[in-house]
Chain A
């Protein structure tokens, strides 16, 4: 008997799934790049009170429009310069990262819950439930997102919480679509049928058999939708119907810099570039997770 177990342990099964995953993650350069950039941005946001050289809300009109350090007239006192009210741009940028990340995470928590619930129900039960969910998705897709979001924010007033709620209730469609098709693929697997035969409750099957197997797709959609929510918030704030001043939302910073577009273009370049890098990193990470977790050969 001991011999048998011994021989099984010794036999070479090749690398374990975990090792394969580790290897493919380490080999995926854009995934590592995106992940690294996000870690830096999250740290910068969390440590904003420590890192920021100045109070992001402190106005000083005597030093307004100080250019960043690499331009003529710039100084190390305000590395990225100051805005139209003389507030330190670097400090505002750091605090702005907090707003973007809060919006992204908050909106995805709401939209992910709605979309996953609808999608899993549609995929698991099929039939009438599927028809209803399909109809809800079609209704949601036919509403012009930007316009509806603008109108609702205009009615309820712009604040961080309202923007998170509006985006959360508008952006669940991709979750529903992807979770629906993933659940459909999993629900006919043998292990789901065994669980049904054993008499597990539906809730238990969904939580312990289905969810773990569609988790990777959920993570991919969540990252991509987080990027989507952050972009939309910036757009709403840019139009003046999102996060309200004096909060340093990056979209709002671009809007404030727009007035000086012809004279001080760096005012829009800096927050815009920050937004671009954040979204790019999130998307690279999302695409990377999809590549790494997809079954071999699928592209």
Chain B
């Protein structure tokens, strides 16, 4: 267990370093950062000063290690646009995105797990077919379009929900649905497949033979085992949702990290974009690492294999 966790940790660190290098090089793809920082109307002398001040005249690898050391110390540089530390900006905008992600995961799971269980109890029944229909059509819906259709229905026609802002929980309702519907089909399929797998096993037959009620067999014995892979998928999907929040937040004008990213790209504010890519990636890496370790702890087969 310890060896597996250490190996997995090593991979996570390696991946984190690679991702940091990729997001660092983004700043250089974007052109000369000194010119961007100096802004319009700057003289050549200004640009040269900035270049020396920030060390842009040093070799790229040296700059990368300087940047990495500062990043580890919690300094991701300064936003070109706001002229404030990127870390503060991200910390300011992250809570909205995290809330949205957490609500999205909760909503997706609370919709998909019961449907998946029901579909597995009676394969090829009407419920199973309806679940399949929902999952197939859900994965074909473009999220930005679905968001606008919801706005047309619930804001324009019915007038029930606000279309933009993040003041009350009502504001989060439509963004949550839009963010989560795409993840729900995957959860549902996995729950259904896991349940079908478990229901065919010997210990379920034993439980039934003992005369336990169907409810107890399904919920206590089967679901508990079938849910394990769903937990690790939830970690992966949470990471994807943070990334997907760019589209959702920009449509519903939620002031989170996603819309910060979109606006920063539009403003050529690359230190902020760089920082956001790094933070999103790190969250994903940490979550999947924890999920893998948890899985290995629950299922000894993974540790050895």
Contacts and interface: CB of A to CB of B under 8 A. Distances in A.
A200 interface: no
Contacts of A146: 243-244, 246-247
A276 B145 contact: yes
A89 B223 CA distance: 50
Interface in B233-255: 236, 239-240, 242-244, 246-247, 250
Given A146-B244, A261-B152, A227 B140 contact: yes
B247 A147 contact: no
A108 interface: no
A258 B251 CA distance: 10
A279 B140 contact: yes
Contact of A239 (B19, B31, B145, B246): B246
Interface in A274-299: 275-276, 279-280, 283-284, 287
The 5 closest A-B pairs by CB, nearest first: A144-B243, A272-B145, A280-B140, A279-B140, A144-B280
Contacts of B184: none
Interface in B257-284: 261-262, 265-266, 268, 270, 273, 276-277, 280-281, 284
Interface residues of B, number: 48
A258 B236 CA distance: 31
Interface of B: 11, 14-16, 18-19, 22, 26, 29-31, 136-137, 139-145, 148-149, 151-152, 156, 236, 239-240, 242-244, 246-247, 250, 261-262, 265-266, 268, 270, 273, 276-277, 280-281, 284-285, 288
Interface in A207-260: 227, 231, 234-235, 238-241, 251, 254, 258
A269 interface: yes
Contacts of B149: 268-269, 272
28 contacts: A30-B136, A138-B11, A139-B18, A139-B19, A142-B16, A142-B19, A143-B277, A143-B281, A144-B240, A144-B243, A144-B277, A144-B280, A147-B280, A150-B246, A151-B277, A155-B26, A231-B142, A239-B144, A261-B151, A268-B148, A268-B149, A275-B142, A276-B137, A276-B142, A279-B139, A283-B136, A283-B140, A284-B136
Contacts of A265: 152, 156
A287 B132 CA distance: 11
Given A151-B277, A155-B29, A235 B143 contact: yes
A249 to B, nearest CB: 12
Contacts of B243: 144-147
Given A135-B11, A142-B15, A279-B141, 20 more contacts: A142-B284, A144-B246, A144-B277, A146-B246, A151-B270, A154-B265, A154-B266, A155-B29, A155-B30, A155-B31, A234-B144, A239-B246, A239-B247, A241-B265, A254-B144, A261-B152, A265-B152, A275-B142, A280-B136, A283-B139
B200 to A, nearest CB: 12
Nearest to B163: A261
A279 B142 contact: yes
A85 interface: no
Contacts of A280: 136-137, 140
Contacts of A27: none
Nearest to A279: B140
B140 A276 contact: yes
Contact of B144 (A144, A251, A262, A269): A251
Given A239-B262, A261-B151, A280-B137, A147 B142 contact: no
Contacts of B284: 141-142, 144
Contacts of A151: 26, 265, 270, 273, 277
Interface of A: 30, 134-135, 138-139, 141-148, 150-152, 154-155, 227, 231, 234-235, 238-241, 251, 254, 258, 261-262, 265, 268-269, 272, 275-276, 279-280, 283-284, 287
Nearest to B31: A155
Nearest to A224: B139
Nearest to A275: B142
Contacts of B277: 143-144, 147-148, 151
A99 to B, nearest CB: 14
B172 to A, nearest CB: 20
A235 B250 CA distance: 12
B138 to A, nearest CB: 10
Nearest to B276: A147
Given A142-B281, A268-B145, A269-B149, A135 B15 contact: yes
Given A141-B284, A151-B26, A276 B141 contact: yes
A262 B26 contact: no
- Which of A135, A142, A239, A258 neighbours the largest number of chain B CB atoms within 10 Å of its CB? A142
Contacts of B29: 152, 155
Question: Which of A152, A154, A280, A287 has the largest number of chain B CB atoms within 10 A?
Answer: A154
A143 B212 CA distance: 47
B247 A262 contact: no
B64 to A, nearest CB: 16
